[in-house]
Amino acid sequence: MKSLWLIPVIAYFLGSIPFGYVIVKVSQGRDVRSSGSGNIGATNVIRVAGKPAGLATFLLDAGKGYLAVWLAMHGFHANIRWVMIAAVVAVMGHMFSCWLKFRGGKGVATGLGVFLPIAWQAMAAAVVLWIVVLAFWRYVSLASIAAAAALPFLVYAFYAPHHAPPLDVSVGSAVVGVLIILKHRQNIQRLIAGTEGQITGRE
């Protein structure tokens, strides 16, 4: 039982790795936080360092979330409560990285990664929703907010079809969705004001 307390510790430090910051620093010699939206996520990395760097950031951010949950499942053989703790803490690690003075990204890619081993069908549906919203309204931020808002409902529907998921799964997915939306609060303000950039504008 004592070893289970390592799960949130490992999940946090995995989640806290600021891949976007590192990739731009190594490839451009710049601090990604000083350019564009100031975010360390894939959208701003694309703006600062190009699409390959942005894609690498997205995959690594998703991958660290996936690894955190996979380790809880297979490395510690944890029950679903501890798995969901790993998921939430990994996303929080990305958002509040100890390497960046407890600041970080918005958690979209990491949120996708943590739920892939939990309910990949829900993540597939979330990606489809993200694409549809982006195609119609051309706002990356709006697509991310919509996917985050739908996350707990999609997980509820796809985790165990025709059966309600464990309460820990429902609560954990709701917490992650709310955290991502809160991280987009400035984007929400810009969307309301009509000043939000489209497609490759501010995330």
Categorize the per-residue pLDDT at 198 as very low, low, confident or very high, splitting at 50, 70 and 90: confident
Residues 73-101, mean pLDDT to the nearest whole number = 97
Q: Give the number of domains in the chain.
A: 1
Categorize the per-residue pLDDT at 113 as very low, low, confident or very high, splitting at 50, 70 and 90: very high
- Output the pTM of the full model: 0.95
Q: Is residue 11 part of a domain?
A: yes
Q: Is residue 202 part of a domain?
A: no
Q: What is the pLDDT of residue 201?
A: 41
Q: Is residue 203 part of a domain?
A: no
Q: What is the pLDDT of residue 78?
A: 96
Contacts 24+ apart (CB under 8 A), 70-73: 70/117, 71/7, 71/10, 71/11, 72/7, 72/11, 73/117
Q: Is residue 121 part of a domain?
A: yes
Q: Is residue 64 part of a domain?
A: yes
Q: Is residue 199 part of a domain?
A: no
Share of the chain above pLDDT 70, in %: 97
Q: Is the pLDDT of residue 192 over 80?
A: yes
Residues 106-119, mean pLDDT to the nearest whole number = 98
CB 42 within 8 A of CB 57: yes
Q: What is the pLDDT of residue 2?
A: 66
Q: Is residue 201 part of a domain?
A: no
Residues 119-136, mean pLDDT to the nearest whole number = 98
**pLDDT higher at 172 or 197:** 172
Domain residue limits at 98? 2-193
Q: Using one digit for the tens of pLDDT, what is the confidence trace for 135-171?
A: 999 999 999 999 999 999 999 999 999 899 999 999 9
Q: What is the pLDDT of residue 199?
A: 79
Q: Using one digit for the tens of pLDDT, what is the confidence trace for 11-55?
A: 999 999 999 999 999 999 999 999 888 999 999 999 999 999 999
Residues 77-82, mean pLDDT to the nearest whole number = 97
- C-alpha separations of 90 from 22, 107, 121, 160, 168 in Å: 18, 9, 20, 23, 16
**DSSP track, the chain:** -GGGGHHHHHHHHHHT--HHHHHHHHHHSS-GGGSTT---SHHHHHHHH-HHHHHHHHHHHHHHHHHHHHIIIIIS---HHHHHHHHHHHHHHHHTBGGGTTB----HHHHHHHHHHHHHHHHHHHHHHHHHHHHHH--HHHHHHHHHHHHHHHHHHHSSTTSPPPHHHHHHHHHHHHHHHHHTHHHHHHHHHT-PPPTTS--
Q: What is the pLDDT of residue 110?
A: 98
Residues 87-104, mean pLDDT to the nearest whole number = 98
Q: Is the pLDDT of residue 203 over 60?
A: no
Categorize the per-residue pLDDT at 200 as very low, low, confident or very high, splitting at 50, 70 and 90: very low
Contacts 24+ apart (CB under 8 A), 72-76: 72/7, 72/11, 73/117, 76/3, 76/4, 76/6, 76/7
Cα Dmax for the chain: 51
CB 21 within 8 A of CB 32: yes
Q: Tokens at residue 48, please?
A: 């600062």
Q: What is the pLDDT of residue 1?
A: 62
Q: Is residue 156 part of a domain?
A: yes
Residues 179-187, mean pLDDT to the nearest whole number = 97
